[in-house]
Amino acid sequence: MDKLLYINGNWTGAQLEKMAVNNPATGETIGTVPRAGVEETRLAIEAAHEAFPSWSALTAYERSAYLEKFHDLMVDSADEIARVLTLEMGKPLKEARGEVMYAASFIKWFAEEGKRVYGREIPSHRADTRMRVIKQPVGVVAAITPWNFPAAMITRKMGPALAAGCTMVIKPAKYTPFTAIKLIELAEKAGFPKGVVNLVTGSASEIAREFMSNPKVKKVTFTGSTEIGKELIRLSADQVKKLSLELGGHAPIIVLDDADLDKAVRGAVASKFRNGGQTCICGNRIYVHEKVYDQFIDAFAEAIRRLKVGNGMDPSTDIGPIIDREGFEKIDAHVKDAISLGASCVVGGTGHVTNGAYFYQPTLLKDVRPGMRILREETFGPVAPVQKIASDEEAVRYANDTPYGLAAYVFTENYSRGIRLAEALDYGIIGWNDGLPSAAQAPFGGMKESGIGREGGIEGIDAFLEVKYISIGL
């Protein structure tokens, strides 16, 4: 499949150099997209800028109708989108379809939430004035999205931005442009006016620099690495450009001695091995109380051994390929470092390369201890390192000893302990007896170096709004 850019309601860019997109499960090329640069990005920004006045002038109900139609088209095309997603990203087909429905839920949620952008009247301290607060769309939004959730990370930005009255330019990851393009095809079918939604593929550096330097872009929303996020912060300074940043994570999973171990194992498997561990909120470190340590290891190992690695198009596959060589080598380095420093490999510990495709076995490491790379760095792969703890306080201390603060997980059946730990953990998302806490109606985002702002929930639309205070003299 060979696809094009979408600018001002037109599919364009056939004359540009092509970028190949490969299936990470086979190494085969599945199609091409244009390599856009500064010129094409400017055209897309200009189209969004020109469309903004009329789109923002629509009522929230009118914008909602477009989003509702888009949502319905996504649901009707879920199997088709999922197939495209798996082909270019590799995650199991069943997970891909789940992501599509999750992605659609953001469109549905914000189609309704856009009707609830409320201002307020403030009691005045003077009889001859009235004080009013209103909220208005920020303007043109540029969205930079990652490869690991190529549908959901677009709609989590697209839904609130369009509902608020903003127009958009989307730049998908180089590995997964086809999922984004499929969504734009459906948006076109839903009838969004020209210029409201635009898409460019190509040079990440050139496109991002234009986003950050172009004064017509009022807001940039980014999901990706902390390193790139910091660079975007630096680039935003010249214009004091608004940013939303969902960055890296290093999620701890804490299993206390009163935990339901069946529930803890299910939650740990769901969190750690979803998308082969290639998620920003997956469990990266597991801290288990010494009283249930051996029991948890045995049950966790048994569950991991049942996971099947393979091509995501195979319905029986649980864990697909690693996205690229760099990711594969990082995973392998983390495992080897831990073992060299005293950790024991209970399950897995190896990977293989076939025809340019990278696979790593789901791996369980026990007797992990501080100082190992895997406890400091985000692995982004199917490796579960487990460390023994002796108390709740020790668990919290280890869990918080990181510059990241995106997600954390706690397993305990004691309400008081759960509340204390949830409040003590410096993370934006806490899964308490829940390995899959994300939902469209809930805020998603982190503390510390894990980001700025929140996506989803009632908080998600606020990121695309300006607050204006009006003082009226009578």
Which residues participate in catalysis according to the annotation?
Answer: 246, 280
Q: Which two tokens stand for residue 75?
A: 């649901």
Q: Which two tokens stand for residue 329?
A: 């080598």
Identity of the amino acid at 343: A
Burial degree of 235 (CB within 10 A; 0-12, 13-18, 19+): middle
In whole angstroms, give the CA distance from residue 364 to residue 302: 10
Strands 363-366 and 357-360: unpaired
DSSP-derived letter for residue 192 is: P
String of DSSP letters for 406-440: SEEEEE-S-HHHHHHHHHHS--SEEEES-S----T
Give φ, ψ of 299 to 5 degrees.
-70, -40
In whole angstroms, give the CA distance from residue 137 to residue 161: 8
Handedness of CA 236, 237, 242, 248 (dihedral sign): positive
Give φ, ψ of 403 to 5 degrees.
-75, -10
Residues 6+ apart with CB under 8 A from 370: 387, 398
Identity of the amino acid at 175: Y
Q: Which two tokens stand for residue 56?
A: 């923002």
String of DSSP letters for 12-78: E-TTSPEEEEE-TTT--EEEEEE-B-HHHHHHHHHHHHHHHHHHHHS-HHHHHHHHHHHHHHHHHTH
Three-class SS string for 86-152? Answer: HHHHCCCHHHHHHHHHHHHHHHHHHHHHHHHCCCEEECCCCCCEEEEEEEEECCEEEEECCCCCCCH
| Cβ proximity of 141 and 168 under 8 Å | yes
Burial degree of 195 (CB within 10 A; 0-12, 13-18, 19+): buried
In whole angstroms, give the CA distance from residue 23 to residue 189: 27
In whole angstroms, give the CA distance from residue 89 to residue 149: 9
**With b meaning 16 or more CB within 10 Å and e meaning fewer, what string describes 314-336?**
eeebbbbbbbeeebbebbbebbe
